[in-house]
Amino acid sequence: MPDSFSSSSEVRKQSVRLKRFQIASSTYAFGLFFLALCARVELFSLEHLLLVGLAFLGINIALYAVFRNGLNLRFKDPSLTQLQVSIGALMVAIILVLGEHVHFLAIPFYSSLFVFAMLQLKPMELVRLEVFVLVTYGVAVAIRQEIFATPPDLRIELIYAAIVALSSGWYALAASYISSLRARLRGSVQALEQLATRDSLTDVWNRRHIDFLLASELERKARIGGALCICMVDLDHFKSVNDRYGHPVGDATLQAVAMAMQTQLRSIDQLGRFGGEEFLIVLPGATLADATRCAERLLRSIEALTVLPDPAQKVTISIGLAECGTGEAPGALLARADAALYQAKQQGRNRVAISELPPVAIK
């Protein structure tokens, strides 16, 4: 895909990650609100509320800076979901240590963490999160008893521990199931995208998508300048191939031609089936000289193919080449390339014909 297309897709993904982070940040705000209510009824000290609030603020500012500057893209999981939920679980443990009578907040806090984890984590990562939650909860309860030095009510502690263990286990199982559904959905979406953008026979871009890519490149050229050329490619005497050998051989010929052309193109060049035996190639950043050399390579590579039952019969192509003019519309550029292709056919086929640039209008 061209840089403009792939970069715009990455921008959209990064925007989704940032929104997801903002949603997670809002849960911190709710947590602080409930802590403030606890402080209001003297279940949690104001000093500890301020300490937790500053910690949450610092964490969120740091994470926001990471997402905003794209530093998250350096990690295997750019969403940083596991890091965020681990920090959240650790903060819950700190709150349980600082507050003698706020362990009832553990359940809603942990629940929100697992709901957030459902969005991204895989089953084994969810299991590790559950273990981390149980360990940090147990350590927090033990430290709290040491700090406040009050004899624990074992009945209440056991009930809370059981609730945390069972609820975290249930959330982990539910999140694991949702994760598997999400993976299946992602696979289905990718298959649909493949069907929507790829030609089923040649596996190059289909007409709709190559039109979209051409329009994207024209917009990029209008925005930042640079060279842009297109090639309209047509197989010579393709009807006679179908008539003589049948459509299966014709289909195999189209596939071989498409594959051979792909090997002669750069990674940023785009090849699409325009219709029937006709292909469109978009060459971003290619000058007319660059595009001409590319077209000549395409001619030689196709002529070297031996895909027909009769080895003496060669497959050849004709190419109409057009350089994009300033402010030229997609339809006008395609029409010039198509006219050049017709010219190549008229001149004997198996050759490249170049369209002249349209005159620049004087304002």
Supply the pLDDT for residue 1.
39
Sheet holding 352-354, edge to edge: 270-275, 278-284, 228-235, 317-323, 352-354
- Locate tokens 């299991």: which residue? 127
C-alpha span between 260 and 271 (Å, rounded): 11
**What secondary structure letter does DSSP report for 71?**
G
Domain ranges (residues) in the chain: 3-196, 207-354
What pLDDT shows up at residue 8? 54
Tokens of 204: 């190059």
Answer whether 246's CB lies under 8 Å from 267's CB.
no
In the block, tokens 């060459």 appear at 283
- Give the Cα separation of 275 and 308 in Å (integer): 21
What single-letter DSSP state applies at residue 351? S
What homologous superfamily does CATH list for 207-354?
Answer: Reverse transcriptase/Diguanylate cyclase domain (3.30.70.270)
d(CA 8, CA 22): 21
Planar angle of CA 172, 175, 179, nearest 5 degrees: 135
Name the amino acid, one letter, at 342.
Y
10-residue block means of pLDDT along the chain (363 residues)?
Answer: 48 80 80 88 89 90 88 86 88 87 80 76 79 87 76 71 75 71 74 80 94 93 92 95 93 96 94 95 95 96 92 92 92 96 96 84 44
Q: Could you say which of 125, 130, 217, 277 is catalytic?
A: 277
Question: Measured between alpha carbons, how far is 139 from 226 in angstroms, rounded to an integer?
Answer: 62
> Which residue type does 67 have?
F
Sign of CA dihedral 332, 334, 335, 339: positive
pLDDT of the residue at 192: 74
What pLDDT is recorded for position 359?
65
Query: Residue 309 is inside which H or E element, if any?
Result: none
The two tokens of residue 326 are: 């300033």
Helix-, strand-, coil-residue percentages of the chain, each rounded to 5: 65, 10, 25
Backbone phi, psi, residue 235, to 5°: -70, 135
pLDDT of amino acid 11: 73
d(CA 19, CA 342): 51
Q: Is the pTM of this model over 0.85?
A: no
pLDDT at residue 204, as a whole number: 95
CA 266 to chain centre: 22
CB count within 10 Å of CB 307 equals 18
> Cβ distance 236 to 317 under 8 Å?
yes
Look at residue 9 in the predicted model and tell me its pLDDT.
61
Backbone angles phi, psi at 322, to 5 degrees: -140, 130
The pLDDT, as a whole number, for residue 206 is 94
277 is known as an active-site residue? yes
